[in-house]
Structure 1
Amino acid sequence: MTTKAELQDLLRFLTQDAKLHLKDSMSSIKALQTANLTKVEAISKSSVEDLTAIFSSTKSAKSVLSTAKRVIKKRDISETGVDDNVSTASKRRRSEPFEELINPDSLAAEESLLLPTLEISVADLEPIVLFTNRAPLVLAFAVVLLSYTYPHQPLSSRLSLAQAVVSANSRSKAVAIGLESGPSAEAEGWADGQPRIKVMGREIRVLRRWNYERPKATEPGPLQSGQNLAIGQPSESDEQETWTERTVPLWGLDTEKLRDSNKSKGSPGAAPTSSLPIFTAQAARNYLLRSFSRYSEATDASPTKKSSLKDATTAKEHNAALLLRALDILFASWKDTLSRDELDKRAWSWYVAVRPDVETGQKGWGEKGKVELSQILKMRKVAEKSEESAV
């Protein structure tokens, strides 16, 4: 079995020493493991024929083989006897492009991302009106939706994927109202070769988290673990699902940042193999928790003592928890009725129905408005009155 350190060294060798594209390197990992070629020394003793079967190109196979032999030779003649392929790892740690990708995620890291939850009834939620702009509302919808449509994704992944949806939606809107122009980074081919998943009807590019270790302890509740959730009727696509959707945790890939950071290279094909930026879970969480105020407070003109920053932050986190609770009630009410794909499609129409009303065009960009939790709760499926009172 390949260890974490071996996987890290192997990825570094393929991308930095052998100069292979990251996506090609990652797609070859499984075949290299099967052939027991997870160490540079083992690769150096293999043959062009063996490597061609893995990399599907004689040219790439020869390059990998010769690079492996050169690395081993350099290692052998080193006066210190230190593996040059590993010795500089600590120096590169701050800029290591695969740091989040290949380092194991600890239980503490996942716990640091936990979202606030509230046990509050429908009756108590209905009078609440929040004040926000559209982007964080999309984020909230996507985070809760993913806990039902992709329940095996850890919370860190769901936050990253949800932020990717927000980014893609915001760019489309910016183009539509004339704030941006030209094709997207994905349309230009900057994410070619990376897998895609669909969230709220929008396809986003994702990056596989090869070395993620699921914590042995799981947190209760769908917003944290999602392990206790299941979608009702399977869709046709469910029968054809791949590792992308069910088994491997994912990051949302920031294709626009990838393009912006490599503009000098001129074309997608010239992008450096060591840089695939992602939407970080912590940034998405922070954005979610600081974006919701109470409408009554936002419009109250009466003089009041200014709240402390701590009090304001706590209040916004509480408001976010109220919204997440209302959304969870909505999605939970439909989970046994709709298929995964149907729930995903329905989510966008639900968001449109409750999003803040803002001015059209550029004037409405970033403008805030009301989000009535009662409107969210009206869309839930309630089979029996007794169920409604029990929620």
Structure 2
Amino acid sequence: MPTAQDIHTLLRFLSQDAKVPLAQAMGKVKELQKAGLGTPSEIAKSDIESIKSIFTDEKIAKQVLNTAKRVSKKRAASDTPSITTPKKSKRSYGSPLSPPELEESLALPEPCMDEDVLSKTIVYTNRAPLVLAFVLTLIKYTMPGQPLSSRLSLAQAVVSVNSRAKAVSLGLESGNRADEEGWGEGQPVCKIMGREIRVMKRWGYQWKEMKDYDASIESGGGTENFNEQPPLWGVDLEALKKSNGPVTPGSASSSQLPIYTAHSARAYILRSFGSPKLESEETEPSPANKKSNAETAVVAEREKNLGLLLGALELLLQSWSTILTKEELDKRAWGWYVRIRPEVESGVAGWGGKGNVKLADILSLRRQETR
């Protein structure tokens, strides 16, 4: 049975060496160990199809496999563990697309608001992407002036901060958080779902016609502080800490700060909500063309499930948004999430574990109108 140290070592390899986002790495540790791929050397001896069956994204699967081979090769040549030092490279967060085109490229499945369908739907997932979906929808009501790109970035920031805190509480990570050591000091702070997130203001980012932008703000209600915010990026303080600068309070341009990118958050959420039958059933090897068709069907099923989940969350938040302030809505959101999150084993054993989420449970949290 894997020990806490085994889990910690594998998680460190995925997140630090293979550069897999921490929240995603958490969700894959248990699957890798179940498949007999609990160490870099075991992963290195595997093949791309085996890795891809776990990570689904071919690019990330190749990244994990190639890193495992490189790390294993270095360790074979020396008795001392190999430590991969992050390369200092110039990171760019810009896009050749215009703001409206960027927002369009991030489009998610349309939320399904059919209560009959939602009440019968169950999705199979782990907790991190559920937090992401919850925050993504919550921000529409608490910060209505934020475009989809900002909502994705901010939601991923909340997931990462929450995952880091959980990892520390389980003993899988140690040391102070980046914000506790002063990284990001001087950057604005935004409190979302009970978590304080350092943000970067995107001055001049006009993502739709100004008259439409003004109308969306005016219709949002709530406190003026939220409405006056320009579009935001969530700042990745842990990445800033690992790169060792160069930004310090009062120096350099904030454009050099690493951020949680909208496209990576979108890719993560699109592939995270399966159906219980699809996720739990074992399948026999099939010819390449049949396998390709099956994979396409799984992708379509997950995107459909995301639309259903987003619809249920919309109905929940809509029901309360008319009587609660934005601050009150934000305060209540974590409690709602806790009540509907998938059940997993306690402690380290449940790290990254998956379970069922009944959308009927989300609908049951809606405000009951009195007559």
Show the counterpart of 2:363: 377
- Structural mapping, 1:1-391, within 5 Å: 95=90, 97=92, 99=94, 105-216=98-209, 227=216, 230=219, 234=222, 238=223, 241=225, 246-262=228-244, 275-300=256-281, 306=291, 307-383=293-369
Whose radius of gyration is greater, 1 or 2? 1
Counterpart Cα distance in 2 of 1:129 and 1:346: 23
Deviations 1:106-129 (A, max 9, x none): 211110111111444212111111
Show the counterpart of 1:47: none
SS of 2:197's partner is: strand
Letter in 2 for 1:282: H
SS of 1:293's partner is: coil
SS of 1:99's partner is: coil
Aligned residues of 2:126 and 2:353 also touching (Cα < 8 A): yes
Counterpart Cα distance in 2 of 1:268 and 1:200: 27
SS of 1:211's partner is: coil
Deviation at 1:229, TM superposition (A): 8.5
Deviation at 1:206, TM superposition (A): 0.2
Letter in 2 for 1:252: G
Counterpart Cα distance in 2 of 1:383 and 1:194: 41
Q: Assess, with a 3 A threshold, how the Cα gap between structure 1 residues 198 and 105 changes in structure 2: closer, same or farther.
A: farther
Deviation at 1:374, TM superposition (A): 0.6
SS of 2:203's partner is: coil
Deviations 1:164-183 (A, max 9, x none): 00000000000000011111
Letter in 1 for 2:121: I
Deviation at 1:151, TM superposition (A): 0.5
Letter in 2 for 1:372: K
Counterpart Cα distance in 2 of 1:319 and 1:368: 15
RMSD: 3.1
- Percent same amino acid among aligned pairs? 46
SS of 2:138's partner is: helix
Deviation at 1:298, TM superposition (A): 2.3
Deviations 1:37-68 (A, max 9, x none): xxxxxxxxxxxxxxxxxxxxxxxxxxxxxxxx
Aligned residues of 1:152 and 1:226 also touching (Cα < 8 A): no
Aligned residues of 1:231 and 1:335 also touching (Cα < 8 A): no
SS of 1:197's partner is: strand
Letter in 2 for 1:354: I
Deviation at 1:256, TM superposition (A): 0.3
Counterpart Cα distance in 2 of 1:228 and 1:270: 31
Q: Assess, with a 3 A threshold, how the Cα gap between structure 1 residues 308 and 203 changes in structure 2: closer, same or farther.
A: same
Counterpart Cα distance in 1 of 2:339 and 2:263: 28
Counterpart Cα distance in 2 of 1:173 and 1:277: 22
Deviations 1:267-286 (A, max 9, x none): 95699756310000111111
Aligned residues of 1:151 and 1:229 also touching (Cα < 8 A): no
Letter in 2 for 1:253: V
SS of 1:308's partner is: helix
Counterpart Cα distance in 2 of 1:355 and 1:348: 10
- Number of aligned residues: 277
Letter in 1 for 2:244: N
Aligned residues of 1:188 and 1:268 also touching (Cα < 8 A): no
Counterpart Cα distance in 2 of 1:271 and 1:123: 55
SS of 1:187's partner is: helix
Deviations 1:236-270 (A, max 9, x none): xx25x27xx5231100000000000117x8x9569
Deviation at 1:159, TM superposition (A): 0.5
Deviations 1:324-382 (A, max 9, x none): 01000110111101110110011110100011111111111111111110100000124
Gaps of 5+ in 2: 1-88
Show the counterpart of 1:59: none
Aligned residues of 1:105 and 1:213 also touching (Cα < 8 A): no
TM-score, length-scaled by structure 2: 0.67
Gaps of 5+ in 1: 1-93, 220-224, 386-391
Aligned residues of 1:148 and 1:226 also touching (Cα < 8 A): no
Aligned residues of 1:148 and 1:229 also touching (Cα < 8 A): no
SS of 1:207's partner is: strand
Q: Assess, with a 3 A threshold, how the Cα gap between structure 1 residues 197 and 300 changes in structure 2: closer, same or farther.
A: same
